[in-house]
Amino acid sequence: MLLSHIVLIVILAGVCIPSLALADTSPIFPTNKLTIAEGAGFLAFLNPNGGTELLRQSRVITGASPWIHCSVSVNNVQYSLDSDQVHRIGDKTTVERYDTERCGVRVKNLQKALEANWTLYGTDQTGQEKTGILEVTVTSIKFIDELNVTVSGSASTATVNCPDKDGSRYCRIIDADQVVSESCTKTVDLTQQISHFWCHTMFWGAMTERITKINLIVQEDDRDVKATVVETEDHIVLSCKYRSTVSLCRALSETDNRQYLLLDGHLSGRYSAYNTKISTGLCSLEIKKPLAPADVGVWRIYQQLNPNDYTGCVFDVKSKRLAKARQLIRTRGPTAKSNRLELTATDIEIFHDPRSSSATVTELTCAVPYEMDYCYLSGPTAGDYAPQRFDRLKSLGLCRFVVTNITSGVWACGINDLDGAEDHLTYYNVSVYQQPGRTVTEQLTASSGDREQRLLCRTILDLPIDICRFVDPSGEVHGVSNQIKPSTDARYRYYGKGLREGECGLEIVELQDKDFGRWKCAFKVRGREYEISMDIVEEAMSVGAIIGISIAATIGLGIIGIFAYRKLNRRYTGPTYTVSSSMANVSTASHQS
């Protein structure tokens, strides 16, 4: 009998328990599993109806919450959610109810220790109990407020990486100029010793960004180089010593633009790599004597960090005295003028199309045969400009500037050496054009019937011309090209070096009256068309010609007057007086009519 009761109880338990479990289990909004970043928060509530609409409807009908009791259990500790009480778990995490309508929870600042199953218990107005189990996974993220990154000074660029970027969902990097890069990494040019960046990172399981300040520090000592010169009766050795290993070095002669690759143990005729040892950062060039004319002048030994960035040493090789690693200029005052290095001026033509929204960037480089202490660039209206990458280029005797939307006028580059003598200036005559061409023949003065009269306009910077046309005073268009051979009776022909050389010219075989007036040189460069006006003016009578004609007229009138006077004298003869020499005091006169 007892055995049969036990069997019956087991059978009833096997049948009834599953049905009760299914009735008591409720779905959870938004899901039964959540992955949350440590320090972030989450919310969840029992959702027996699979949505929120029925919950709102129930509250409207009954005027009260559909739940008469709600609680949550985590790590075997149960917390009541029947009121607005805020529960604290540990030092950081807080738990409070979702709202007055739903049986749910709001958790803030979740910690790794609370990675567990969170069980929600709710009792509705009918007395039926609901249970929902939420599986919470907590991901640990190493949060860093500030990070110092040190890079070698021999590098020209560096990569900024957000911390734990592999576990992030989204990153953006903001620099000191508020330039935003939508990425977890950013490659930057090393233009200053310390740069600052802010990495904003979004992680899986977190709703807000985490900000890390990154300080990019360049090791200045790695960039230091030392130039030495050793000269004997047999050779001259130019050496550039870096603080660390180099990939390779090159020696460049400014005299004839020769280059030599400096690798360990290399030899080429009178030149060798001498004691070059790349692994120790030593690069040397040996030149055997006697020195050739091309050996005299400025040499630079450098390593190329990228296509536009170098670091190295500069040398000034003399023919009659020992070469120096840099030129010493110690004299101050008026006597310095005879000893200072004269730097020639340079004419620079810049094209900036006003129709373009992009800025025009101009690079100016000053070069001297010695290591610099400082340099600067002064414009006609603005203040001084700071050089680019000066810490690497100063030992090469180079000073480079980048100017945005440069203006016309005289620009001066000031340079000083390590001995602090007077600044040495080199000047740039900058001309900014609003179109990429200018007239060579702005006005042509000629006469009708003159032959082989020419109009010419030319592009600046030797830009090639796609199409060349001339518009005459009547509006007729004449297309010309050095690739087209005109007919023998054509009055208009191409003139110039060629369109590829940037010259658009017109030759008029014989001028006619209709050719006088305003012409337009129309050309197409880089896909855009431009026009330049020029005039053919009819030659007027010169002052010399007017004077000549006046003199000729005066002479003509004089000749006519003489002829008229003589003609009148032949028609009438006046009285004649005769003086006799035989009488001393008496004279006899006779009158004949």
- CA contacts within 13 A on the Cβ side of 197: 30
pLDDT of the residue at 330? 28
Count of domains in the chain? 5
6: left (phi over 0), alpha (psi -120 to 50) or beta: alpha
Establish if 551 belongs to a structural domain: no
Beta bridge partners of 211: 200
pLDDT in tens, 167-202: 677 899 999 889 999 988 999 887 788 899 999 988
Distances (CA, A) of 22 to 27, 48, 49, 198: 11, 12, 14, 51
**Res. 63: pLDDT tops 60:** no
> Could you give the CA distance from residue 258 to residue 298 in angstroms, rounded to a whole number?
11
pLDDT of the residue at 556? 67
More confident residue, 593 or 89: 89
Share of the chain above pLDDT 90, in %: 25
Closest CA to 459 of 498, 407, 495, 504: 504
442 φ, ψ to 5°? Answer: -75, -35
Distances (CA, A) of 488 to 492, 509, 510: 10, 10, 13
Query: Where among 76, 110, 139 does a domain terminate?
Result: 139
Q: Are strands 93-97 and 87-89 parallel, antiparallel or unpaired?
A: antiparallel
pLDDT of the residue at 144? 81
- Domain span at residue 162 reads 146-221
Total length of the chain? 593
62 and 90 assigned to the same domain: yes
Q: Kindly indicate the confidence band of residue 424, based on its pLDDT and cuts at 50, 70 and 90.
A: confident
567 Cβ contact list (under 8 Å, min separation 6) = none
Establish if 546 belongs to a structural domain: no
Establish if 576 belongs to a structural domain: no
374 and 447 assigned to the same domain: no
More confident residue, 328 or 90: 90
For 308, other C-beta atoms within 10 Å of its C-beta total 12
Residue type, 390: F
70 and 168 assigned to the same domain: no
Distances (CA, A) of 291 to 273, 298, 322, 323: 17, 13, 12, 12
Establish if 326 belongs to a structural domain: no
127 and 161 assigned to the same domain: no
29 and 105 assigned to the same domain: yes
> Could you give the CA distance from residue 478 to residue 522 in angstroms, rounded to a whole number?
10
The model's pTM is: 0.45
pLDDT of the residue at 205? 66
Of the given ranges (252-256, 300-304, 332-336, 436-440), which has the lowest mean pLDDT?
A: 332-336
Q: At 60, list the tokens.
A: 């409207």
Closest CA to 219 of 439, 392, 430: 392
Contact in structure between 215 and 196 (CB atoms under 8 Å): yes
231 and 215 assigned to the same domain: no
445 and 531 assigned to the same domain: yes
213 and 256 assigned to the same domain: no
CATH of the domain at 176: 2.60.40.10
Establish if 135 belongs to a structural domain: yes
Closest CA to 445 of 541, 534, 536: 536
249 and 307 assigned to the same domain: yes
pLDDT of the residue at 335? 35
> Could you give the CA distance from residue 131 to residue 319 in angstroms, rounded to a whole number?
97
Establish if 513 belongs to a structural domain: yes
> Could you give the CA distance from residue 206 to residue 167 in angstroms, rounded to a whole number?
12
Query: Where among 317, 352, 373 does a domain terminate?
Result: 317
Mean model confidence pLDDT for the chain: 79
pLDDT in tens, 71-130: 999 999 999 999 999 999 999 999 999 999 999 999 999 999 999 999 999 999 988 999
26 and 100 assigned to the same domain: yes
234 and 300 assigned to the same domain: yes
Query: Where among 105, 139, 173 does a domain terminate?
Result: 139
Establish if 577 belongs to a structural domain: no
80 Cβ contact list (under 8 Å, min separation 6) = 70, 71
* Dihedral sign of CA atoms 332, 335, 339, 345 in order: positive
Distances (CA, A) of 172 to 187, 199, 284: 13, 6, 45
33 and 80 assigned to the same domain: yes
Establish if 568 belongs to a structural domain: no
pLDDT of the residue at 390? 82
